[in-house]
């Protein structure tokens, strides 16, 4: 099938950071290209204070305009509750398209095991992002910051471009 694309959204790299090593550590955080067209992302997060049943996530879209600045989307969710009751449309998309299929976080809290995204094809993430990012050319990032019991524990930032 010929797919005519006016816009290309392309994930460039990912940066993971544990801000509390007694809570969690990243064993893996990378994007690997298998060939010229296909890449996948691998995340492996070790949890040291299980069971985890209180998680808040802030998800912020950033656009590079002399430095990355908030752009269009800034939501904070109760990550434990959204798995039960996905009200936010964007979050619901992410959950059903990505989490459920590509991670072992496909059940409700508590989490009493390490968190794994063994092989998330970036194309699926790109398609999901295309669904809600205003498709204006430029450099972007999706900043996700993870809290448990109101303490910042980790961040995962995904950088991408729109041509």
Binding site for ligand NAG (CB under 6 A): 34-38, 54, 78, 104, 106-107, 149-150
Distance CA 23, CA 112 (A): 12
In the complex, minimum distance from the CB of residue 18 to ligand NAG, in angstroms, rounded to a whole number: 19
58 phi and psi angles, rounded to 5 deg: -105, 130
Nearer to ligand NAG, 36 or 69 (CB): 36
Cβ-count burial 112-140 (b if 16+ within 10 Å, e if not): eeebbbeebbbeebbebbeeebeeeeeeb
78 phi and psi angles, rounded to 5 deg: -85, 100
In the complex, minimum distance from the CB of residue 115 to ligand NAG, in angstroms, rounded to a whole number: 12
Nearer to ligand NAG, 31 or 135 (CB): 31
In the complex, minimum distance from the CB of residue 90 to ligand NAG, in angstroms, rounded to a whole number: 20
In the complex, minimum distance from the CB of residue 105 to ligand NAG, in angstroms, rounded to a whole number: 8
CB atoms within 10 A of CB 154: 21
Nearer to ligand NAG, 55 or 129 (CB): 55
Nearer to ligand NAG, 24 or 142 (CB): 24
Distance CA 100, CA 77 (A): 17
């Amino acid at each position: 099938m010929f797919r005519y694309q006016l816009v290309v959204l392309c994930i460039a790299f990912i940066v993971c950071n544990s801000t509390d090593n007694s809570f969690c550590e990243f064993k893996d955080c990378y994007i690997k290209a298998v060939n010229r067209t296909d890449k996948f992302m691998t995340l492996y997060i070790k949890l040291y204070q299980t069971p985890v049943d209180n998680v808040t996530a802030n998800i912020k879209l950033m656009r590079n305009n002399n430095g990355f600045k908030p752009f269009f989307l800034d939501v904070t969710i109760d990550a434990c509750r959204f798995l039960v009751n996905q009200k936010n449309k964007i979050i619901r998309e992410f959950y059903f398209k990505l989490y459920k299929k590509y991670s072992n976080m496909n059940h409700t809290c508590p989490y009493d095991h390490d968190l794994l995204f063994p092989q998330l094809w970036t194309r699926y993430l790109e398609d999901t992002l295309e669904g809600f990012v205003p498709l204006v050319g430029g450099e972007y990032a999706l900043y996700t910051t993870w809290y448990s019991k109101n303490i910042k524990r980790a961040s995962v930032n995904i950088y991408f471009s729109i041509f």
